[in-house]
Amino acid sequence: MSDIFCSLRQLSVTYGHGAAALDRIDLDIAAGERLAIVGESGSGKSTFARALADLLPERAKVGGEMLWPALGHPPRPGRDFGFIFQDPGSSLNPVLTIGEQIAEGARRHLGLNWKQAYARAEELLGRVRMPQPDKVMRAFPHQLSGGQRQRVAIAAAIAAKPQLLIADEATSALDVVVQAEIVRLLDGLVREDGMTLLFITHDIALASGFVDRIAVFRDARLVEAGPVRSVLSAPQSDYTAELIASHRDLRTPPLIAKAAS
């Protein structure tokens, strides 16, 4: 069977005197799996992603254990894991060219010189299906659309061939059409490279389309976790059932029909 990539025991995060942002989470992440963390605002899903990536603010107090059996040590940013943020507008440095931003990770972690790193960056732009990669290498973030910027962010995140990719609401700021493309891209890349994917989202349907397992968070607690099909067809918790019932797609009967007109 697959090894455990990351094991969380009673993971908790609190800020000062306030309520817990994460409350005793017990969860295992298998190597090579695609796990979705689904929750609404305030559920703790982003805190979870940032706790794993050691991106919490200084004043956060972390309790419990984070074990990394496959790596043997806490993951190094860039080298062992890549992180994709929600807002592609602010996650890229506005004064550096796209090429520089992607190449930096390759250069630093793979020991390449700048020329090799740039070559790799252009190759990565091709992998993330960016049109005209050579032009984009010299472009700046503000010249690209939101979807394009997110592709760049993905390229930068996988530049050093990390084993884990964390996507923190990576599609939430994009429109549905671009969202679907980015999800397809992520799915493809992760399969090709055998990466473990942690996909944080508020959209249970979006996650259900491509992940293996799903973990539902609510109010800083882990409500339910399991293979995506089982959780969706037979949810153990009422909350999960509510999330599923609130989902609205084109097959859901419209509200307007209920209005007598």
Partner 1 sequence: MSDVLLSIDNLSKGFSSSGRRVAALENVSLTIAAGETLGIVGASGSGKSTLSRILLRLLAADAGAIRFEGEDWLALSGAALRRKRAQMQMVFQDPLAAFNPLATVGAVLDDPLRIHEVVPRHRRTGEIAMLLERVGLSADYAGRPVRSLSGGQRQRVAIARAIATRPSLLVLDEAVSALDVTVRGRILELLVELQREQGIACLFISHDLAVVRAVSHRIAVIDNGRIVETGPATSVVVAPQSDAARALVAAVPRLVTDPF
Asked if 198 and 8 touch (Cβ cutoff 8 Å), the reply is no
DSSP string, 137-154: HT--GGGS-HHHHHHHHH
Count of residues engaged in binding partner 1, rule: CB under 8 A: 40
Nearer to partner 1, 10 or 246 (CB): 246
Contact range with partner 1 by CB under 8 A, out of 8-16, 134-142, 156-164, 173-181 = 173-181
Element (DSSP H or E) covering residue 227 = strand 221-227
Q: Which is nearer to partner 1, 10 or 252 (CB)?
A: 252
| DSSP secondary structure letter of residue 99 | H
User: Would you state the structure tokens that stand for residue 67, as one six-digit string?
Assistant: 């074990």
The residues, any chain, with a CB within 8 Å of residue 74's CB and separated by 6 or more, are 54, 66, 68
DSSP annotation of 77: B
Question: What's the closest the beta carbon of residue 150 comes to partner 1, in angstroms?
Answer: 12
Please select the residue that binds partner 1; options are 57, 59, 194, 259, rule is CB under 8 A.
259
Does the footprint of partner 1 cover residue 179 (CB under 8 A)?
yes
Question: Residue 132 belongs to what H/E stretch?
Answer: none
Distance (Å, rounded) from C-alpha 34 to C-alpha 208? 11
Does 132 bind partner 1 (CB under 8 A)? Our answer is no
| Interacting positions 196-255 with partner 1 (CB under 8 A) | 202-206, 208-209, 228-230, 232-233, 242-244, 246-252, 254-255
* Least spacing, CB of residue 176 vs partner 1, in Å: 4
CB of 167 to partner 1, least distance (A): 15
Instruction: With contacts defined by CB under 8 A, name the span among 11-19, 122-130, 161-169, 171-179 that binds partner 1.
Output: 171-179
- According to DSSP, the residues that pair with 32 across neighbouring strands are none
**Shortest distance, position 246 Cβ to partner 1, whole Å:** 5
State the minimum distance, in angstroms, from the CB of residue 207 to partner 1: 9
Query: What is the spatial distance between Cα 225 and Cα 259, in angstroms, rounded to a whole number?
Result: 38
Question: Are 117 and 107 spatial neighbours (Cβ–Cβ below 8 Å)?
Answer: yes
Q: Is 59 in the site for partner 1 (CB under 8 A)?
A: no
Closest separation between CB of residue 104 and partner 1, Å? 27
Burial of 73: CB neighbours in 10 Å, binned 0-12, 13-18, 19+ = exposed
Per CB under 8 A, residues contacting partner 1 are 40-41, 145-146, 174-180, 202-206, 208-209, 228-230, 232-233, 242-244, 246-252, 254-256, 258-261
